């Protein structure tokens, strides 16, 4: 793993430890994609975080909020010194699901109720189209989240409105496979009128290349990136044991997991 991948994971571990909550498997699976977006793709910076024409990042899989904070810390939007002491505390702005109402800039949506982020992103993209804004909309969804009906309803509308300024990223960590057989995302989304690319979501070069190419395809079709990822990627313990879907590390576990990330 690259040094930044390790840094981000260790920050997520620390935040989860501080607030004694979190969905770390899900956080670790999407961290590399979220970083790639903010670092290499999006027209976004802390200074332009409230500009009309900024690119939007919508976190539809809200349980991965602890992936977003480390990225925004490394980008200079938030500081660890501010988040760590208060995360999860009563009246804190920071919890394991983002709360738009407590921020002016940096956080674009309330996350946690699944099947909400994609419709919201479609609305932003449709508005961008009407306003002739160059702003692009990136929305991070879980593979399991695609069981919700609203996800497919949004896909119909996005395609009908020719929203080629929308890029749906599926963090395909095979959560859904444990419950139902979804078949091929690629075939389904293609049938819904999307341009679909697939990448290894832990390979930043490959992810960047695909996102750049999709961004350039102004052909009236919404975009989808299927990022093949691994739950808990970066920690063998977390990958192996599903209890880490929703568990916070205690002091000893934190130390053990940090070591695993360092050695990965």
Partner 1 sequence: METIRYTGGKPEKEVFQVIGETLRGLFESDSRVVYLDADLMSSLKTQNLWKEYPENVFNTGIQEANMVGTACGMYLNGFKPYVHSFTPFASRRVFDQLFISGAYARKSIRVIGSDAGIMATHNGGTHMCFEDVAMMRTIPDVCIVDVSDPTMCGAFLKLTKDRPGVTYIRTPRRDLPDIYMPDACFEVGKGKVLRDGSDVTLFACGIMVSTCLEAAELLRADGISARVVDAVTVAPLDEELVLRCAEETRALVVAENANIHGGLGSAVCELLSAKRPTRVIQVAVEEQFGRVGIERDLRRYYGLTAENVVEKAKEAIKTKI
In the window 65-84, what residues touch partner 1 (CB under 8 A)? none
In the window 9-28, what residues touch partner 1 (CB under 8 A)? 19-21
Query: CA 165, CA 158: separation in Å to the nearest integer?
Result: 10
Under a CB-based contact definition with an 8 Å cutoff, are residues 141 and 151 in contact? yes
Residue number with CB closer to partner 1 (164 or 172): 172
Residue number with CB closer to partner 1 (149 or 216): 149
User: Rg of the chain over CA atoms, in angstroms?
Assistant: 17
In the window 166-195, what residues touch partner 1 (CB under 8 A)? 176, 178-180
Residue 145 as a binder of partner 1 (CB under 8 A): the answer is yes
Look-up: residue for tokens 């593979």?
143
Q: Beta strand 56-59 with 195-200: parallel, antiparallel or unpaired?
A: unpaired
Residue 144 as a binder of partner 1 (CB under 8 A): the answer is yes
Buried b (16+ CB within 10 A) or exposed e, 160-169: ebebbbbbbb
Residue number with CB closer to partner 1 (42 or 64): 64
Residue 153 as a binder of partner 1 (CB under 8 A): the answer is no
Query: CA 97, CA 92: separation in Å to the nearest integer?
Result: 12
Residue number with CB closer to partner 1 (50 or 113): 113
Positive or negative torsion for Cα 33, 36, 41, 43: positive
Residues in contact with partner 1 by CB under 8 A are: 19-21, 62, 88-92, 95-97, 99, 101, 110-115, 142, 144-145, 147-149, 176, 178-180, 242, 245-246
């Amino acid at each position: 793993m690259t040094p930044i991948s390790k840094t981000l994971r260790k920050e997520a571990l620390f935040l989860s430890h501080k607030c004694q909550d979190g969905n770390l498997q899900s956080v670790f699976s999407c961290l590399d994609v979220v970083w790639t977006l903010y670092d290499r793709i999006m027209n976004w910076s802390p200074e332009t975080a409230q500009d009309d024409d900024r690119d939007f990042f919508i976190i539809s899989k809200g349980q991965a909020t602890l992936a977003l904070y480390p990225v925004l810390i490394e980008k200079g939007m938030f500081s660890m010194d501010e988040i760590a002491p208060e995360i999860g505390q009563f009246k804190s702005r920071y919890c394991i699901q983002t709360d738009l109402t407590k921020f002016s800039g940096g956080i674009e949506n309330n996350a946690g109720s699944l099947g909400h982020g994609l419709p919201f992103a479609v609305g932003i993209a449709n508005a961008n189209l009407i306003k002739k804004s160059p702003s692009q909309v990136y929305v991070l969804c879980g593979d399991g989240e695609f069981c919700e009906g609203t996800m497919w309803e949004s896909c119909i509308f996005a395609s009908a409105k020719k929203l080629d300024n929308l890029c749906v990223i599926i963090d395909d960590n095979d959560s859904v496979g444990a419950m139902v057989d979804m078949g091929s995302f690629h075939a389904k989304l293609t049938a819904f009128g999307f341009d679909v690319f697939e990448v290894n979501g832990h390979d930043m070069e490959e992810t960047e290349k695909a996102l750049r190419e999709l961004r350039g395809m102004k052909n009236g079709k919404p975009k989808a990136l299927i990022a093949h990822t691994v739950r808990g990627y970066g920690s063998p313990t977390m990958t192996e044991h599903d209890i880490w879907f929703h568990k916070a590390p205690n002091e000893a576990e934190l130390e053990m997991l940090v070591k695993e990330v360092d050695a990965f």
